[in-house]
Amino acid sequence: MSLPYDPASIFEVSVSEMPYGNLQDTQLLAKIYAPKGRGPFPAIVSIHGGAWNTGNRTANKIIDEDLACSGVLVAAIDCRVSPKHTYPAQVEDFSWAVQWIKAKAGTLNIDPKSVGALGTSSGGHSVMMGALKALGNDRVSYAVLLWPVLDPYARYLYAREASRKDLVERSEWYFKTADQMLKENPQTLLDKKQINEKPPVLIIQGTADTNVPLSIPERFVKTYENLGGEVSYKLFNGMPHGFNGWSEPLWNEAATDIKQFISKQLQKS
């Protein structure tokens, strides 16, 4: 793969939108944050959170723009949301987007072998499910996960105990049943060794996250490493779930960690 990428670089960025998929009643859009320059550039597919029920291609703007300014083309995608669209809608959307961006490599001025993925919250679930199950042109070179829901069943049980009706309902709308939450689950895939790929993973997690208990990423990290996967796990003291509420110094540190992780993966041959 080995693409030149300096995380400290600063590029001008153009922003555009284009469809990456069409269904009977839905046109799926991607917001493209493209560095201006000779290229080809590395690329990343960015997926929003929202408990599978809300959110759109603008939700990760703070990190999407920052990555593009450093020289990574970002395709931030809309995902179909529940209750109208249920599992595996968002995993399918992710896989389509990865295949689409590789097919558009010439137009977008990217290296198709460099494509990684970024997912926040429930978007982290979709990214990891797609990445672990990938079989062909939907493979990604790495995954960056911010406060990800890596075990929706464990999170569902936590939400019930914490009387988080919002999280309980949204989980039920998307997965329909608790059995589905348990089955269609990155942690379960690892536990049962039902995986096709093990891309390098970076997990960013705040210790004050009241949506995702730390036991979820900690278990995932341990299992992934035991299976021979490469995973970096970075905790940020006192930081909450989502971008809002993060202190500027700690967010800058997290953004630097993300760019350095991407650089490390791009330097691999």
CA distance 128 to 121: 11
The verdict on whether omega for the bond into residue 83 sits within 30 degrees of 0, i.e. cis, is: yes
- Cα 254 to Cα 14, 31, 76, 108, 205, distances in angstroms: 24, 23, 19, 27, 9
User: What is the percent of the chain with per-residue pLDDT over 90, rounded to a whole number?
Assistant: 94
Amino acid at 254: A
* Closest C-alpha among 150, 147, 115, 146 to residue 129: 150
CA distance 7 to 127: 23
pLDDT value, residue 24:
66
Name 211's Cβ contacts closer than 8 Å, sequence gap at least 6: 121, 147, 149, 155, 164, 167, 241, 242
pLDDT by residue for the chain (269 residues), tens only, comes to 446 899 999 999 999 999 998 876 778 999 999 999 999 999 999 999 999 999 999 999 999 999 999 999 999 999 999 999 999 999 999 999 999 999 999 999 999 999 999 999 999 999 999 999 999 999 999 999 999 999 999 999 999 999 999 999 999 999 999 999 999 999 999 999 999 999 999 999 999 999 999 999 999 999 999 999 999 999 999 999 999 999 999 999 999 999 999 999 999 85
Question: How many CB atoms are closer than 10 A to CB 195?
Answer: 17
* Closest C-alpha among 94, 44, 100 to residue 72: 44
Torsion 159-165-170-176 (CA) sign: positive
CA distance 40 to 171: 39
Phi, psi of 154 (to 5 degrees): -65, -40
pLDDT in tens, 170-192: 999 999 999 999 999 999 999 99
CATH number for 13-266: choose from 1.10.3210.10, 3.40.50.1820, 3.30.460.10, 3.40.640.10: 3.40.50.1820
- Cα 4 to Cα 57, 205, 262, 264, distances in angstroms: 27, 28, 11, 11
pLDDT in tens, 18-72: 999 887 677 899 999 999 999 999 999 999 999 999 999 999 999 999 999 999 9
CA distance 194 to 145: 20
pLDDT value, residue 4:
80
Q: What is the largest CA-CA distance in the chain?
A: 53
pLDDT value, residue 3:
65
Q: Domain residue spans in the chain?
A: 13-266
CA distance 48 to 46: 7
Name 258's Cβ contacts closer than 8 Å, sequence gap at least 6: 63, 67, 118, 144, 202, 204
